[in-house]
């Protein structure tokens, strides 16, 4: 079977056209940034443009109760559960033109290519636009896919407010969508195409990544207590400095993670010294710890290792320490069959050395959909690993390769 080829030029034009809605001129950005917060007037305009494009291709629209859009290209047997692809159209306040949008428009490009080639599929194919993925306007992130997957109730999601006190329900009402009351419909397979948001593919000169899952993550607050003292009168050997102890912990925790597996992550992103003063050796330090691993077992083992390391360093320095977890998300290994279908399609449309398997460290709508349907993801490189950034960029020819793989994967799954 010869692989179908999408139209990379058409995909790029669509991306740039929808990116005009909320476009921000940014020095040093190749195509400019995008400001299109979830369910804002701009987001609604972007969604409408997308709906129009899909309807031109003969797709039907369904909007569920949380505002997720489903654009359906019928199959030969419309009683079969659809193969779904998609992502989101909303952006961060200083976002780019690819994060989320690329996945949605590649679904459209796949449909356009199938129509052009008059290719029918057994199952219907749907492109989903999930509401408020970014979490920038309404908390939490991945709200629409979370409601669809039953992670949040519809009622709690509709009641979330933005910074001006406007609820999701009020913002949705402005859209004039004809919603149905359903919050979940059967899905045969869910595939999400996304820019990597990290440096791995670019560094390895790889065109597409087959994503084996999303890392589980746990966030902790580590409190380290010693005894503060004046910088002058206290000889070095008589100090009980919480920052010097914390520095050692930070060094050894990150070294431990670097010696771990390819999916081990350890990040200290916040560090606070209460009552800090230039001439006081700190008696108190609080830092955050973000641990990630590919499976919940591996994450648990990483946590135990990190805790043992922190306690051993504290004991050796006569410091007191407490470690408190304040957030977490289980690991989300993707479906083996779905991964297998992407891998098979990649074998047909790409040279073998141009793809690799990797994990996603960031969350995506696919994490929640993975709880209710066989799911996998495809990544393309993002320049300098940037995302949530107005300089976010992936070259048209790389976007086209990812789109080709999505197209052939959808085709394969929709005929299975």
Total residues interacting with its own copies, rule: CB under 8 A: 58
Residue closer to its own copies (CB basis): 22 or 198: 198
The piece of 19-27, 119-127, 179-187, 287-295 that touches its own copies (CB under 8 A) is 287-295
Residue closer to its own copies (CB basis): 26 or 200: 200
Per CB under 8 A, the list member of 269, 324, 351, 353 interacting with its own copies is 269
- For residue 202, what are its two tokens? 């670019």
Per CB under 8 A, the list member of 93, 135, 260, 328 interacting with its own copies is 260
* Rounded Cα gap, residues 314 and 177, in angstroms: 57
Site for its own copies in 218-257 (CB under 8 A): 219, 229-238, 241, 243-244, 246-248, 250-251, 254, 257
CB of 276 to its own copies, least distance (A): 4
CB of 10 to its own copies, least distance (A): 28
Helix axes 101-116, 41-56, angle to 10 degrees: 10
Asked if 132 is part of the footprint of its own copies (rule: CB under 8 A), the reply reads: no
Residue closer to its own copies (CB basis): 176 or 326: 326
Asked if 292 is part of the footprint of its own copies (rule: CB under 8 A), the reply reads: yes
- Rounded to whole angstroms, what are the CA distances from 323 to 31, 247, 249? 44, 16, 12
CB of 69 to its own copies, least distance (A): 27
CB of 38 to its own copies, least distance (A): 19
Residue closer to its own copies (CB basis): 30 or 230: 230
Whether 201 and 380 have beta carbons less than 8 Å apart is answered as yes
Asked if 131 is part of the footprint of its own copies (rule: CB under 8 A), the reply reads: no
Q: Is the dihedral of CA 53, 63, 197, 260 positive or negative?
A: negative
| Pairing verdict, β 83-87 and 189-195 | parallel
Residue closer to its own copies (CB basis): 28 or 235: 235
CA angle in degrees (0–180, nearest 5) for 43-47-53:
150
Whether 399 and 407 have beta carbons less than 8 Å apart is answered as no
Whether 242 and 226 have beta carbons less than 8 Å apart is answered as yes
CB of 357 to its own copies, least distance (A): 14
CB of 179 to its own copies, least distance (A): 32
Whether 54 and 149 have beta carbons less than 8 Å apart is answered as no
- Tell me 214's DSSP state: E
Site string for its own copies, 192-211 (x = CB under 8 A): ----xxxxx--x--------
Asked if 328 is part of the footprint of its own copies (rule: CB under 8 A), the reply reads: no
| Pairing verdict, β 83-87 and 125-129 | parallel
For residue 10, give the H/E element and its range. helix 8-19
Backbone angles phi, psi at 9, to 5 degrees: -65, -45
Helix axes 296-316, 242-258, angle to 10 degrees: 150
Residue closer to its own copies (CB basis): 110 or 266: 266
Asked if 91 is part of the footprint of its own copies (rule: CB under 8 A), the reply reads: no
Q: Peptide bond preceding 348: is omega within 30 degrees of 0, i.e. cis?
A: no
Tell how far CA 315 is from the center of its chain: 39
Coil, helix or strand at residue 167: strand
Per CB under 8 A, the list member of 277, 318, 322, 416 interacting with its own copies is 277
Site for its own copies in 336-365 (CB under 8 A): 360-363
* Contacting positions for its own copies (CB under 8 A): 196-200, 203, 215, 217, 219, 229-238, 241, 243-244, 246-248, 250-251, 254, 257-258, 260, 262, 264-271, 273, 276-282, 288, 290, 292, 360-363, 385, 387-388
């Amino acid at each position: 079977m010869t692989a179908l080829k999408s139209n990379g030029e058409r995909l790029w034009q669509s991306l740039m056209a929808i990116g005009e809605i909320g476009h921000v001129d940014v020095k040093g950005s190749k195509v400019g940034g995008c400001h299109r917060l979830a369910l804002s007037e701009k987001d609604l305009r972007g969604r409408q443009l997308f709906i129009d494009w899909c309807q031109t291709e003969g797709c039907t629209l369904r909007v569920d109760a949380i505002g997720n859009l489903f654009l359906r290209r019928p199959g030969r047997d419309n009683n079969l559960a659809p193969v779904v692809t998609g992502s989101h159209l909303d952006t961060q306040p200083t976002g780019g033109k690819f994060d989320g949008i690329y996945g949605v428009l590649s679904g459209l490009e796949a449909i356009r290519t199938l129509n052009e080639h008059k290719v029918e599929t057994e199952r219907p194919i749907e492109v989903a636009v999930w509401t408020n993925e970014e979490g920038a306007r309404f908390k939490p992130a991945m709200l629409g896919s979370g409601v669809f997957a039953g992670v949040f109730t519809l009622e709690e999601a509709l009641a979330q407010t933005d910074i001006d006190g406007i609820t999701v329900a009020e913002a949705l009402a402005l859209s004039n969508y004809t919603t149905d009351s359903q919050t979940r419909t059967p899905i045969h397979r869910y595939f999400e195409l996304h820019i990597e948001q990290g440096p791995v593919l670019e560094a390895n000169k790889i065109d597409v990544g087959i994503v084996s899952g999303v890392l589980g993550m746990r966030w902790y607050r580590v409190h380290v207590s010693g005894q503060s003292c004046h910088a002058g009168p206290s000889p070095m050997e008589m100090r009980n400095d919480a920052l010097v102890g914390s520095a050692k912990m930070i060094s050894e925790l990150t070294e431990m993670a670097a010696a771990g597996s390819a999916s081990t992550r350890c990040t200290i992103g916040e560090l606070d010294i209460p009552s800090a003063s230039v001439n006081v050796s700190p008696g108190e330090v609080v830092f955050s710890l973000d641990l990630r691993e590919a499976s919940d077992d591996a994450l648990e083992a990483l946590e135990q290792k990190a805790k043992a390391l922190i306690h051993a360093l504290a004991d050796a320095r006569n410091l007191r320490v407490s470690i408190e977890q304040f957030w977490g998300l289980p690991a989300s290994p993707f479906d083996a069959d779905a991964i297998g279908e992407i891998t098979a399609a990649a074998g047909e449309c790409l040279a073998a050395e141009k793809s690799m398997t990797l994990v996603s460290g960031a969350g995506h709508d696919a994490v929640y959909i993975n709880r209710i349907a066989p799911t996998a993801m495809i990544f393309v490189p993002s320049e300098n690993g940037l995302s949530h950034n107005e300089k976010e960029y992936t070259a048209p020819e790389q976007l086209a390769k990812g789109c080709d793989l999505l197209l052939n994967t959808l085709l394969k799954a929709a005929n299975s």
